[in-house]
Amino acid sequence: MADMTVGIIGAGRIGQLHAEYIMSMSSIELKGICDIEIDHLKGSMMEKHVPVITTDPSILIEDEEMDAIFICSSTDTHCYYIEKCAQAGKHIFCEKPISFSLEETKAALRKVKEAGVHLQIGFNRRFDTHFSKVYEAVSAGKIGRPHIIKITSRDPEPPSEAYIQSSGGMFIDMTIHDFDMIRYLSSNEVESVSVVAANLVDPCFQKYDDVDTAIITLTFEDGSIGVIDNSRRAVYGYDQRIEVFGEKGVVMADNERESNVQIATKESVTLDHPKYFFLDRYKQAFYREIQAFARAIIDQTPVSCTGEDGLEAQRLAIATRLAWKENRTVLLSEIE
Amino acid sequence: MADMTVGIIGAGRIGQLHAEYIMSMSSIELKGICDIEIDHLKGSMMEKHVPVITTDPSILIEDEEMDAIFICSSTDTHCYYIEKCAQAGKHIFCEKPISFSLEETKAALRKVKEAGVHLQIGFNRRFDTHFSKVYEAVSAGKIGRPHIIKITSRDPEPPSEAYIQSSGGMFIDMTIHDFDMIRYLSSNEVESVSVVAANLVDPCFQKYDDVDTAIITLTFEDGSIGVIDNSRRAVYGYDQRIEVFGEKGVVMADNERESNVQIATKESVTLDHPKYFFLDRYKQAFYREIQAFARAIIDQTPVSCTGEDGLEAQRLAIATRLAWKENRTVLLSEIE
Amino acid sequence: MADMTVGIIGAGRIGQLHAEYIMSMSSIELKGICDIEIDHLKGSMMEKHVPVITTDPSILIEDEEMDAIFICSSTDTHCYYIEKCAQAGKHIFCEKPISFSLEETKAALRKVKEAGVHLQIGFNRRFDTHFSKVYEAVSAGKIGRPHIIKITSRDPEPPSEAYIQSSGGMFIDMTIHDFDMIRYLSSNEVESVSVVAANLVDPCFQKYDDVDTAIITLTFEDGSIGVIDNSRRAVYGYDQRIEVFGEKGVVMADNERESNVQIATKESVTLDHPKYFFLDRYKQAFYREIQAFARAIIDQTPVSCTGEDGLEAQRLAIATRLAWKENRTVLLSEIE
Amino acid sequence: MADMTVGIIGAGRIGQLHAEYIMSMSSIELKGICDIEIDHLKGSMMEKHVPVITTDPSILIEDEEMDAIFICSSTDTHCYYIEKCAQAGKHIFCEKPISFSLEETKAALRKVKEAGVHLQIGFNRRFDTHFSKVYEAVSAGKIGRPHIIKITSRDPEPPSEAYIQSSGGMFIDMTIHDFDMIRYLSSNEVESVSVVAANLVDPCFQKYDDVDTAIITLTFEDGSIGVIDNSRRAVYGYDQRIEVFGEKGVVMADNERESNVQIATKESVTLDHPKYFFLDRYKQAFYREIQAFARAIIDQTPVSCTGEDGLEAQRLAIATRLAWKENRTVLLSEIE
């Protein structure tokens, strides 16, 4: 009775999150979940409500009833599954980043194009209530032509050493969200990138040729400039703020706090902390990105965050890493 | 496979809301819905997912599988259903107010007590993130002994004339939430009530011997004092703020805004509006009150908002109406 | 070379404050200061810059060069000096309250009227940046017709026992500022007053038949309603907030904090405290009220806070005390 | 009877401001003012209260009674007067920047050192209530070791074309305050500077080989990083915010608004604008920097913002211009 039937490849944290949200939507049926390991799903709501739970992805991809596949497996498998899904004529929702290699990404996007299927990349923040209002204000011309776009993006705590080792580095793993957001807010392409970066949070990052703290500056084709500041550890919570400053004003989105409660005593006046966990902070955004994807598939309209957006964010991550390594301004045109 | 099976009597706005939330919870099965009119449920998610849809409440109440019934019908039928459910040994979740008559309420509560079933009243605001943090701060002694408790509670727009006519008046219909909240925050009983009230929003209220604007002052048994200000129309949104001031400080909960976005231009600096619709503002609270009810039933622990709480709020509403009518301080002990 | 020459009677805290501000203004010359005790002025800037320092008030009042006299002596001497100044044809700036007796105040105001001199009462809060913006917004019709006017007014700490004993009680000593503010914001006269009051801060207040905590409700002639909440001790600082709610919106003034600094750590997110001391919080207001007085005298325009305003605030304080004593609503018309 | 006697060279906007503040302080006597043009002082408070008004600076510099001279003349004359004052044994307060030439500045500082007089540079923002609280929080270790220091510094409107032409460029004229602030907050020296800059506000800047919009990134010797964003025109007001993010938290200072008033209507929720004019925003800071200077002279303690601080800020401005011109990271060690 649902309008659309989907499957999920990859039942890790993010795959399970998508599963939970899809199960709560009446218009989408979650028919199958696949992972190399499925024991951890025993006794879960998924086991109860999802007809097919399998370790064989082809069972989902080749299922005639499937309209779309959510690719939530590890990054190094994304392109393989994108191509398989495209060949099978399935629409695709793929987590970020698309891959660690531009060649792989471009090849996968070509297959998507040939197959004529939809591909949406999981840049959930575009669907955040606060950030989408900022986007709307900018689009509506409320602040005129943008001059400076600023993103503050700091994780509450660093990932595990194992994660760091295979993350591809902070720029591709974490900043990629900010690269997408800054392009989104700018409605313009980046021309060049520079960066100052440091290893201040944990020596572990240096061990894997990575950084944990950075300020990235960007120039856009329209002459405006952007800046992203990142840290792998903001002990006070997940710090996610954006600001677009322009000829006619400024629009800013502040953090979401745990609550709007204020306590004042002789000793202190306290507010609640910013939300700490990304699934809590972006809960609605994760929900809304799936809804937007479903709407696009059902209504046959373009998806709002395409494979090309994923590619561009990946190019920016690669350019930033190069800018860091060579301590110079890198033109985006150098990254092919 | 759910831990608990429930039915809903009354499929109006609030009944449908509860239905939606219950359907999204894996631990509760919604087996039946009943209303005198059920045509409006055609094509809804309820029709798809709820096995029994009926106009006969006894089908739900007498169903052996039912653990609990949600009473969401019109206020004048609450006590009748409470008694029926109690007789059938069903736990009960009943919307506010319990009734318009103290005698009826008391009789119903006696039946509940005799039957030994749980009864939770739908004072959802106790489960609001912000307000429950205020309660916790007060309970934890953060502000010492409370001296003044303030509630600002203003609806975004007045109800329809038909609603006003059968509402029982602002104090029992709208302020009853604030009466419960002020008792909850105080952890103390009210001793006396005074009020200044006015008809400033719409002449319609006066037509039905009602008011639309009021400031209610209360004294508590521990000597502290309280104040509630109400309006039936705050054009800028649903204005819901609380403040507990005490010997060691103050704790305040501010409104939830549509977003945390700020736009500054030459002309103005604007914030987003407070959330406008009560279902939006208290969305999580509605969800969490059901979870708390289910947890109490499943774990066999006391519910957090009892029939006695409903009775006390009702007494406060009646006392306030009397205080208004006779322009004097009314002792709560006068209201039996 | 100044435009106006003035003297000050009473060199206590408030008299010295006025002296300091007047000395910093080029348009006013402070020619004399008088007090029954003048030893404490030795070595002060006043000793250096004020030509006449005396224990004899008539030296100031009878000085032909004096344009105006600031009466900053104890409340029980205000009316005596008002009459003396009026007789001598001097304009008068008098601290609040005018007196503890309505008869005395009325007699003094008659003398002022007969003499045709200006009299401004020291309700400095009318000149506060934040509060005067609220007044302007209301006057400009931004929120339409006012429905509810709320004042939160809490001192940081109670005065000394000696002060309490001779203060005349909280309503005339402290709330009198709020009575003036609520009349000012309403642009309307009060019709009736009720109050719930308590002794929660310090038993000392009860000893002198006084209260330290109160919620005062008022009705205005235009049908709108008001509420003032007072406490003699807000440990977190001087809590001074106002709110005017009306048919088209609400306007609010929040506290001034020590700074706009926020510190977020793992343990807490803290703001700075509200300013603690009234001279700090209302520093600019004290300055601006003198400027407004001088401008009125020099330009021969009406003063902005008249003797009649002082009388009305005094009547409200007396009505509130009566309402408290008799636990009933008191009509302002009862207070003659 | 004052503790210190001073003169002012330069009676433009900033000179007059200092004059006004000094005249209101009892501990400092303003004995003389000098400018090449003095007609505009006719009828001012200065004419009334300052004994010597002259076009000959040597009259002030050679006056035996003078303890200190405030140099508020045009930048190109600063070093000349610094040397003259030092030779005459006068303490010196000099406006920023010291000069446009590092050689001149260094030569002047040598003379100051030889003469053993105090020299304070007019980086008034160090004395701002909000910013000095940020500094104190950082110094007290509240946020641990700093990782990222961010300054947002945007003027409300660009200066006149004449001013732009002789300003020395945005980095030396406007950013110099931010360079000093970032050094101050860091308590550390800058190692390298990069910049992306643009001409977006007014073509006039380009005409004089200048920019109006920039993001400057800096690395510090301790490995931390900094970022300054500048614009010559923030139409919503003077935007002055700072943020220090570190291992244990973050401390931020937000803008000062015209008032704390909020107005909510159906159409909008508005706050007041940030203060617009720098003399209004930094009023107290200008006052307090003079007090700090006077205290240092009188108590014979070090001044808080030295000639070396002025030199370092100047080096940063020069490095940033070079980084812009050559589109590369400039090591501060390159600037001698």
Same domain membership, residue C130 and residue C95? no
pLDDT above 90 coverage of chain B, percent: 92
For residue C35, tell me if it sits in a domain.
yes
Closest approach of chain B CAs to the CA of D134, in angstroms? 23
Distance CA C39, CA B131 (A): 56
Distance CA B153, CA B314 (A): 17
Residue D169 · residue D315 · CB < 8 Å: no
Q: What radius of gyration do chain B's Cα atoms show? A: 20
Give residue B45's pLDDT. 80
Average pLDDT, chain C: 96
Residue D81 · residue D73 · CB < 8 Å: yes
Give residue D96's pLDDT. 94
**Is pLDDT at A48 greater than 90 in this prediction?**
no
Q: Considering only the beta carbons, identify the residue of A225, A236, A327 that sits closest to D249.
A: A236
- In this structure, the strands spanning C239-246 and B249-253 are unpaired
The domain boundary, picked from B117, B141, B159, lies at B117
Same domain membership, residue A271 and residue A161? yes
For residue A303, tell me if it sits in a domain.
no
Same domain membership, residue A213 and residue A84? no
With an 8 Å Cβ cutoff, the interface of chain A facing chain C consists of 235-237, 257, 262, 264-266, 268-274
Q: Indicate the pLDDT class of residue A325, thresholds 50, 70 and 90.
A: very high
Identify residue C24 by its one-letter amino acid code.
Answer: S
Interchain CB distance below 8 Å, C251 and D258: no
- Mean pLDDT, rounded, for D288-294: 96
Same domain membership, residue A134 and residue A112? no
- Mean pLDDT, rounded, for A144-159: 98
Distance CA A97, CA A177 (A): 9
Please tell me which chains touch A, using 3 or more CB pairs under 8 Å as the contact test: B, C, D
**Is pLDDT at C26 greater than 80 in this prediction?**
no
Q: Considering only the beta carbons, identify the residue of A248, A249, A251 that sits closest to B261.
A: A251
For residue B297, tell me if it sits in a domain.
no
Q: Considering only the beta carbons, identify the residue of D198, D217, D235 that sits closest to A248.
A: D235
Query: Within 13 Å and on the Cβ side, how many CA atoms surround D134?
Result: 30
Average pLDDT, chain B: 96
Interchain CB distance below 8 Å, B148 and C194: no
Interchain CB distance below 8 Å, A259 and B133: yes
Beta bridge partners of C262: C271, D252
Identify residue B246 by its one-letter amino acid code.
Answer: G
Q: Burial-class residue C54 by CB neighbours within 10 Å (0-12, 13-18, 19+).
A: middle
Q: Of C251, D268, A127, which Cα lies nearest the Cα of B272? A: D268
* Residue ranges making up the domain that contains B272: 127-282+313-334
Give residue B9's pLDDT. 98
Classify C257 as helix, strand or coil.
strand
Classify D59 as helix, strand or coil.
helix
With an 8 Å Cβ cutoff, the interface of chain D facing chain A consists of 145, 147-148, 150, 154, 192, 194, 196-201, 213-215, 217-219, 223-227, 229, 231, 233-236, 239, 245, 247-250, 327-329
CATH of residue A182's domain is 3.30.360.10
**Is pLDDT at A240 greater than 60 in this prediction?**
yes
Same domain membership, residue A317 and residue A169? yes
Give residue B1's pLDDT. 56
Same domain membership, residue B142 and residue B170? yes
For residue C60, tell me if it sits in a domain.
yes
Distance CA A258, CA B233 (A): 28
For residue A262, tell me if it sits in a domain.
yes
Least-confidence region, from A295-304, B140-149, D45-54 = D45-54
State the angle between helix axes of B13-23 and B283-299 in degrees (0 to 180), rounded to the nearest 10: 60
Q: Indicate the pLDDT class of residue C1, thresholds 50, 70 and 90.
A: low
With an 8 Å Cβ cutoff, the interface of chain A facing chain D consists of 145, 147-148, 150, 154, 192, 194, 196-201, 213-215, 217-219, 223-227, 229, 231, 233-236, 239, 245, 247-250, 327-329
Q: Burial-class residue A106 by CB neighbours within 10 Å (0-12, 13-18, 19+).
A: middle
Q: Indicate the pLDDT class of residue A207, thresholds 50, 70 and 90.
A: very high
Q: Which residues of D touch B236 (CB under 8 A)?
A: 264-266, 269
Q: Which residues of A touch C268 (CB under 8 A)?
A: 268, 270
pLDDT above 70 coverage of chain A, percent: 100
Residue C154 · residue B245 · CB < 8 Å: yes
For residue B295, tell me if it sits in a domain.
no
Same domain membership, residue C318 and residue C173? yes
Say what the ipTM of the complex is.
Answer: 0.95
Same domain membership, residue A131 and residue A182? yes
Q: Which residues of D touch C258 (CB under 8 A)?
A: 129, 133
**Is pLDDT at B298 greater than 80 in this prediction?**
yes
- Which residues, at least 6 apart from C116, have a Cβ–Cβ distance to it below 8 Å? none
For residue C269, tell me if it sits in a domain.
yes
Same domain membership, residue D80 and residue D150? no
Q: Indicate the pLDDT class of residue A1, thresholds 50, 70 and 90.
A: low
Closest approach of chain D CAs to the CA of B274, in angstroms? 9
- Helix, strand, coil shares, percent, chain C, to 5: 40, 25, 35
Average pLDDT, chain D: 96
**How confident is the model over D55-86, as pLDDT tens digits?**
999 999 999 999 999 999 999 999 999 999 99
Same domain membership, residue A106 and residue A139? no
Give residue B55's pLDDT. 96
CA angle B319, B320, B323 (to 5 degrees): 90
Give residue B101's pLDDT. 95
The domain boundary, picked from C74, C93, C117, lies at C117
Closest approach of chain A CAs to the CA of C195, in angstroms? 26
Q: Which residue has tokens 């000096």?
A: C81
DSSP letter for B274, please.
Answer: B
Same domain membership, residue D324 and residue D198? yes
CATH of residue A80's domain is 3.40.50.720
For residue D267, tell me if it sits in a domain.
yes
Q: Indicate the pLDDT class of residue D1, thresholds 50, 70 and 90.
A: low
Distance CA B3, CA B192 (A): 44
Total count of domains within chain B: 2
Same domain membership, residue D33 and residue D144? no
Identify residue A105 by its one-letter amino acid code.
Answer: T
Classify D9 as helix, strand or coil.
strand
Cα diameter, chain C:
67
**How confident is the model over B208-231, as pLDDT tens digits?**
999 999 999 999 999 999 999 999
Query: Within 13 Å and on the Cβ side, how many CA atoms surround A266?
Result: 8
With an 8 Å Cβ cutoff, the interface of chain C facing chain A consists of 235-237, 257, 262, 264-266, 268-274
The domain boundary, picked from D117, D140, D165, lies at D117
